[in-house]
A and B are shown apart, each in its own frame.
Chain A
Amino acid sequence: MRKMTTIELRNITKQFVTPDKAGTFKAVDDVSLRIEAGKFVTLLGPSGCGKTTILRMIAGFETPTAGEILVDGKRINDLPPDKRDSAMVFQSYALFPHLSVFNNVAFGLELKQMSAALIAEKVNAALQMVGLAGLENRQPNQLSGGQQQRVALARALVMEPSVLLFDEPLSNLDAKLRVHMRREIRHIQRQLGLTSVYVTHDQSEAMSLSDQVIVMNHGVIEQIGEPAEVYQKPASEFVADFIGVANFLDAEVLATEAEKTVVRLLDTPFAVPGRRDDLQPGEQVRLVIRPETVRLGREGAFAATVTYSTYMGPSQEYSIDLGGIRLQVEQPDPVGKERFAENSQVMVSFREESLHIVKKH
C-alpha cells in the first residue's frame, strides 16, 4: 500500500543561540514550502545554510521557534520523533554498533511489537532491496562504507514510513559509489512512491535525484523549481553561481514585451525570450550565460582573445577576454572541432534563447 503524504512548512523560523552564547541567530528564516505526495525534493545549498535544521524539524529533533509544520494538513510541531511517521537516513549512518545488520534493521519493527516471523520477512525483504542479502549477521564495523550506507537505507525503508528523510547520505562515499548509490536511491524511491526530502550541498546530486530542487542560502529559500528550471532560469545570481558555472555580464533593459525582453549587451540589443513583469525599461541587470552556450569560431558578433585553453576530455575549456571582460567558455565534444590556441583571436556569439536575466542586487 502506498502512503501518499504531503508535507507543508508554513513560515518556519528556527533560532539558535550563537556559539559565543551572546545572542541568537536565525538558522532558518521564515521558510514556507509544500512537498507534494510521492515527490522527491532536495534541499540544496552551501554548508551552514540551514538544510539539516529544516530536515531535523520535519523529523522532530528540533522544534521550530515560529511557524507550523503540517503533515497531510495536521500540525505536528509538538510530536516527538518517535511518534512521527518519518524515517531518516543519517549522514554518519548512525548504525547501532552493538547490533548486527539484521538487528539494526529489525530495531524499529521490534519496537512496534511485531511478530518475529513478520520481522524476519520484512527485514530480509529490505536487505534484499538494498542488495545486502547474506550479510545479516555481520556487525556494522565489518562492513564497507557503501554497505553501511545500505544498512542505514534498509533500516529506514523497512519502517514503511510515509516520508523518507536523507541528510547528505552519500557524502562519506567515494565518487563512483556515490553516483551508483544515487541511482539506486532514486530507483527504490520511485518503486515505493515515497515522499522524500533529501539534503545535500552537491548540486549534481540534487539535479540527478530530484523532482524539485529547493535552493537555500543563509536560512532563506532562494528558489524552488525543477532541476532544469533552476539551472536554466536561476532566480538570482546566487542560484546561478551555486548551480553549475555561470558568467555574469552587465546589461540594461531596453524594453519589456509580452513574449520577450530586449536588453543591451556590449552595445548590442538582444531579445531574450520570455515575459518579465519584474523588470523596468532602463533598469541595470545581470545576464547569466552558461559556458557551454557560448559559441566560438572564425565568424561571430564580437572579437575576443583566448587567454587560457585546456583539454578536459569531454570538452575543451577556454577563458577569453572580451573587451576587458573575462568569460568562461566550454566547447563540448572537442574532437574534430577547431581548437583555439592561447593568445589567438576568436569571434564570439551568444544565442538569445540561452541568455537569462537576473536582477542586480
Chain B
Amino acid sequence: MTAFFRRWRFQFLDDLAQMKKIARDPILTSAILLCIVSLFLFVVFPLYKVLQQSFFNPDGAFSLDAYKLLFTSGENFKAFSNTVLLGSVVGLLATFVGFMFAYCYTYLAIRGKKLFNLVAMLPMISPPFAVALSIILLFGSRGFITNTLLGLRDANIYGFKGLILVQTLSFFPIAYLLLVGMLKSIDPAIEDAARDLGASRWQTFRRVTAPLVGPGIANSFLLVFIKSVADFANPMAIGGNFATLATQIYIQSIGNYDVQGGAAVAVLLLDLSMLLFIISKYWVEKKVYVTVTGKASRERMPISDRLVVWPVAGFCYAVAGIVLALYILIPIGSFIKLWGINYSFTLDHYIYAFGVGSKAIFDTTWLSVLATPITGLLGMVIAFLVVRKRFIGKGFINFASLLSIAVPGTVIGVGYILAFNTPPIVLTGTATLLVAAFIVRSLPIGIRAGVASLQQIDPAIDEAAADLGASSRQIFFKITLPLIKTAFFSGLIYTFIRSMTSISAVIFLITAKYNLITIAVLDQVESAKFGVASAFSTILILIVYLAIFITNQVLTRLDPNIKKIELT
C-alpha cells in the first residue's frame, strides 16, 4: 500500500514538474485546456445528466421510480430482452459471415478479392437505412420478390427476422475488417510448422489458426453486438413491433414527452454498451497473442484445393452479390413510379427531393462541412497530446474519448436534450449543438487513427525539432501533421461521411429550423414512400462520393506520391 502510494506520489510530483514546463508554453496550455473543456462539456456532462435524471423524479427528489418502471413496465423489459437477443444473434451471424470473408481473402487462391473490400466499404459510406430500404423493396408487402414475383399478399418482413437480416448484412464488414487484420498478422510459418509436424489442413486450422484468432472472434462478436444494440435506424425502419432499447428511448422521450423515462432506458442501454465495451477492451484484447518473432517470414501460399475453395468462396461470392444487388436497388428504386404497383420510369421523386427536400440536403451538407475540419484538427491535436506529451488531465482526455466510442447515439441525444435545454447553457435547436453532436460521434475514430500513426513515428524526430528550437505548436504543424497527413485526411473524410449519414443522436436535437437528409429518409420510409426515400439516399451517396473524390484530388495536388484514401 505504501509502495503504491509512494509510486503515485512520485508520478504526481513528476507530472507537476512537467506541468511547470508546459505552463510556459501558452499555446500548448490552451490546447490542453480547450480539449479538456470541450470533452467535459460535450461528452461527460451530458452523460452525467442522463445518469442524474434517471435518479430524480420530476420534482427534483431522489427516486428510483424510473428504474422500478424498467422492470415493472413490460414494455421496457421487453425492449431490453429484445435488444440482447438481437445483439447476440446478429453478433454470431455477422462474425460468421465476416470470418468466412476474411478467411477467403487471406487464405484462398481466388479472383476478385477487391470485391470483398468494396462490399465491406459500402455500409460505411451509405445512409443508415440503405439495406433496410432495399430489403423492404424486395421482401415487403409490395416487395419485388414477395409480391411481384411470388404473388404473396401479405408478406411481412418487418420485425425480428427482417432486423436480423438487415443488421447482419450491414455489420458483417466490421467483423470482416477486424478478422482480416488478425489473420494477416499470423506468420504463415506457424501453420507450416504444424503441417510439418504432421497436422492435416483441417487439424492445422482447428488446433493452430482457430485458437490464434479466437480472441479476435470474441472481439468481433462484442463489437457487432455493441453496434447492433446501439443501432437506431434499422429498428426504426424495419423493426415493426419489435422494440429495442434504442427505439424505446426515442419513443419515450420524444413520442411520450417523458424525458426522464427515456433517460432511464438510456442508462440501461449505456450500461449494456459500456459493459460490452469494457469486456472487449480490457479482457478480450489482452488475450490477443502477439506474434512471437516480429517479422512474418514469407507470404502465405494461397490454398487452391477445390474442396476448400468452392464452398467457402461460393458462400462469400453469394453474400457479396446480394449486398451489391441491395445497394444497386436504391438508385433503381428512386426512378420507379410506385414500387410494387407501377414500375414505370419517373423523375418525380427527385423533383420532390430537390424541391421540398432541398433544405434538408443543404442543411446536412453545410453542418457536416462545418464539423469536418474541427473534428479532423481536434482529433490530431488530441492524438499528439496523448502520445507525445505528459500532463495532468491526460488520463481524463483518454478516458473521455474512449467513452464516446462506447456511447450509443441515442444516449448522447437524450443527454444533449437534458444538458442543453436549461441554463446555464442553452443550445437546444442551434446549429452549434448539431455540429457538436457530429464532432463527438466522429472524434474517437480520428483520435485512434492519429494515435496509431503517431506511434509509428520515432519520438526522436520531435525531440530533434525541439532541439533545433521549434515550439510545440511549430512541431505539431511542421512535423507531426505532415507526417500523419494520411490519417488526418482519412479523418476528415470519415467525419464528413459519418456526419452526413448520422441519425441516432441528432434526431433528438432536430427542430423546425434545421432538417437533415437521414431524418427525411426515415419520414418517407415510415409513410411507405419508398421512391422518395430512395432518391434522398441516392443523393446522399452521391454527395459522399463527391467528397471522397475531391479529397483525393486535393491530396494528389498536395503530394503526387501520397497514398489515396481508400476507406477500407
Which of B190, B198, B199, B203 interacts with A95 by CB under 8 Å?
Answer: B190
Q: Is B558 positioned at the interface, with any CB of A under 8 Å from its CB? A: no
User: Do A96 and B198 touch across chains, with their CB atoms under 8 A apart?
Assistant: no
Q: Does B289 have its Cβ within 8 Å of any Cβ on chain A? A: yes
Say whether B189 faces chain A, with CB atoms less than 8 Å apart. Answer: yes
Bound-complex Cα distance A111 to B196 (A): 11
State how many angstroms separate the Cβ of B195 from the closest Cβ of chain A.
Answer: 4
Q: What's the least CB distance linking A48 to chain B, in Å?
A: 12
A300 at the interface (CB under 8 A from B): no
Judging by beta carbons under 8 Å apart, are A80 and B195 in contact?
Answer: yes
The B291-310 residues at the A interface (CB cut-off 8 A) are 291-293, 295-298, 301
| In the complex, B181 has a CB within 8 A of chain A | no
A61-B195 in contact given A92-B189, A97-B292 (Cβ < 8 Å): yes
Cβ of B193 < 8 Å from any Cβ of A?
A: yes
Max chain A CB contacts within 10 Å: which of B189, B192, B292?
B292
CB-nearest residue of chain B to A86? B196
Cβ of A172 within 8 Å of any chain B Cβ, yes or no, is: yes
Q: Inside 8 A of A60's CB, which chain B residues have their CB?
A: 195-196
Q: How many angstroms between the C-alpha atoms of A83 and B293 in the bound complex? A: 27
Total count of chain A residues near the partner, CB < 8 A: 32
Q: Which A residues are in CB contact (< 8 Å) with B301?
A: 61-62
Q: What is the minimal beta-carbon distance from B514 to any residue of chain A, in angstroms?
A: 52
Complex interface residues of chain A between 80 and 111 (CB less than 8 A to chain B): 80-84, 86-88, 90-98, 107-108, 111
Judge whether A82 and B193 touch: CB under 8 Å.
no
- A61-B301, A92-B189 in contact; A111/B211 too (CB < 8 A)? no
> What 0/1 pattern do residues 24 to 47 of B give for CB contact below 8 A with A?
000000000000000000000000
CB of B189 to closest CB in A, whole Å: 4
Report yes or no: B200 in contact with A82, Cβ–Cβ below 8 A: yes
Are the C-beta atoms of B295 and A92 separated by less than 8 Å? yes
Q: Could you tell me if B196 and A97 are in contact, using CB atoms closer than 8 angstroms?
A: no
Q: Which of A59, A91, A96, A112 contacts B196 (CB 8 A)?
A: A59
How near does chain A come to B199, taking the closest CB pair, in angstroms? Answer: 5
**Contact flags B63-101 to A (C-beta < 8 A → 1, else 0):** 000000000000000000000000000000000000000
* Chain B residues, Cβ within 8 Å of A148: 292-293
Q: How far is the CA of A127 from the CA of B508 in the complex (A)?
A: 65
Contact B189 A97 (CB under 8 A): no
Interface Cβ pair total, 8 Å cutoff: 91
Chain A min CB distance to B562 (Å): 22
Quick check: B199 and A82 within 8 Å, CB to CB? yes
Q: Does B468 contact A (CB under 8 A)?
A: no
> Are B190 and A91 in touch, CB under 8 angstroms?
no
Q: Quick check: B199 and A111 within 8 Å, CB to CB?
A: yes
State which of A83, A87, A96, A141 has its C-beta within 8 Å of the C-beta of B190.
Answer: A96
Within 8 Å CB of A94, what residues of B?
187, 189-190, 192-193, 297
CB neighbours (8 Å) of A59 from chain B are 192, 196
Report the nearest B residue to A98, measured CB to CB: B211
Task: Indicate if B290 sits at the interface (CB-CB under 8 A).
Answer: yes
Residues of A within 8 A of B356 (CB): none
Which chain B residues lie closer than 8 Å to A155 at the CB level?
193, 197
Least CB distance from B485 to A in Å reads: 28
State whether B189 touches A87 (Cβ < 8 A).
Answer: no
Q: Give A106 Cβ to nearest chain B Cβ, in Å.
A: 10
State whether B289 touches A107 (Cβ < 8 A).
no
Chain A residues near B295 (CB-CB < 8 A)? 92
Contact with A along B414-435 (1 / 0, CB 8 A): 0000000000000000000000
Residue of B197, B291, B293 contacting most chain A CB atoms (<10 Å): B197
Note all chain A residues with C-beta closer than 8 A to B208.
96, 98
The reply to whether the CB of B263 lies closer than 8 angstroms to some CB of chain A is: no
Closest chain B residue to A151, Cβ basis:
B292
Instruction: Collect the chain A residues with CB atoms within 8 Å of residue B189's CB.
Output: 90-92, 94
Which residues of B have CB within 8 Å of A141? 289-290, 292
Q: How far is the CB of B186 from chain A (nearest CB, A)?
A: 9
Return the CB mask of B178-218 against A: 1 if under 8 Å, else 0: 00000000010110111111111001000110011010000
Q: CB-nearest residue of chain A relative to B287?
A: A98
Residues in A whose Cβ lies below 8 Å from that of B192: 59, 61, 81, 88, 90, 94
- Determine whether the beta carbon of B211 is less than 8 Å from that of A107: no
In the complex, A126 has a CB within 8 A of chain B: no
Contact check, A97 vs B195: say whether CB atoms are below 8 A apart. Answer: no
CA distance A322 to B233 in the complex (A): 87
The complex places the Cα of A141 from the Cα of B293 at a distance, in Å, of: 9
- Chain A nearest CB from B296 CB (Å) reads 7
Residue A159, interface by CB 8 Å: yes
Best-buried of B194, B212, B214 by chain A (most CB within 10 Å): B194
Chain B 274-294 interface residues, beta-carbon cutoff 8 Å to A:
289-293
Q: What's the minimum C-beta distance from B419 to chain A, rounded to whole angstroms?
A: 46
CA distance A347 to B496 in the complex (A): 80
Interface centre among A80, A81, A140 (most CB of B within 10 A): A81
- The answer to whether A98 touches B193, judged by C-beta atoms less than 8 angstroms apart, is no
Known: A94-B187, A94-B190, A97-B290. A159 touches B296 (CB 8 A): no
In the bound assembly, the distance between CA atoms of A172 and B294 in angstroms comes to 10
Chain B residues near A108: list those with CB within 8 A. Answer: 197-199
List of A residues within 8 angstroms of B211 by Cβ: 98
CA of A112 to CA of B197, assembled, Å: 9
The reply to whether B196 and A82 contact each other, CB–CB distance below 8 Å, is: yes
Minimum distance in angstroms from A101 CB to a CB of chain B = 12
The distance from the CB of A65 to the nearest CB of chain B, in whole angstroms, is 14
Set of chain A residues within 8 Å of B199, measured between Cβ atoms: 82, 107-108, 111
Q: Which residues of B have CB within 8 Å of A81?
A: 192, 195-196
B297 lies within 8 A of A91 (CB): yes
- Given A91-B189, A111-B203, answer yes or no on A140-B292 (Cβ-Cβ < 8 Å): yes
Complex: chain A residue closest to B195, CB-CB: A81
Near A by CB (< 8 A), chain B positions 123-163 give none
Known: A92-B189, A98-B289, A148-B292. A111 touches B297 (CB 8 A): no
Q: How far is the CB of A126 from chain B (nearest CB, A)?
A: 13
Indicate if the CB atoms of B198 and A159 lie closer than 8 Å. yes
Q: Which chain A residues border B298 with CB–CB below 8 Å?
A: 52
Cα A51 to Cα B211 in complex, Å, equals: 32
By the criterion CB–CB under 8 Å, are B297 and A96 in contact? no
Q: Which of B197, B292, B293 contacts A87 (CB 8 A)?
A: B197
Query: Which residues does chain A contribute within 8 Å of B293, judged by CB atoms?
Result: 92-93, 148, 172
Chain A residues with CB below 8 A from B200, complex form: 80, 82
User: A96 and B195: CB pair below 8 A?
Assistant: no
Task: Show 26 A/B contacts (Cβ-Cβ < 8 Å), sorted by A.
Answer: A61-B301, A62-B301, A81-B192, A82-B195, A82-B198, A82-B199, A82-B200, A86-B196, A92-B187, A92-B296, A93-B292, A93-B293, A95-B292, A96-B193, A96-B194, A97-B212, A97-B289, A98-B208, A107-B207, A108-B197, A111-B198, A111-B199, A141-B290, A155-B193, A155-B197, A172-B293
6 closest A-B pairs by beta carbon, nearest first, are A108-B197, A94-B189, A94-B193, A97-B289, A81-B195, A92-B297
Q: A87-B197, A92-B187 are in contact. List 15 more A-B contacts (CB 8 A).
A: A60-B196, A81-B192, A81-B196, A82-B199, A82-B203, A88-B193, A93-B292, A93-B293, A95-B190, A96-B190, A97-B290, A97-B291, A107-B199, A108-B199, A111-B197
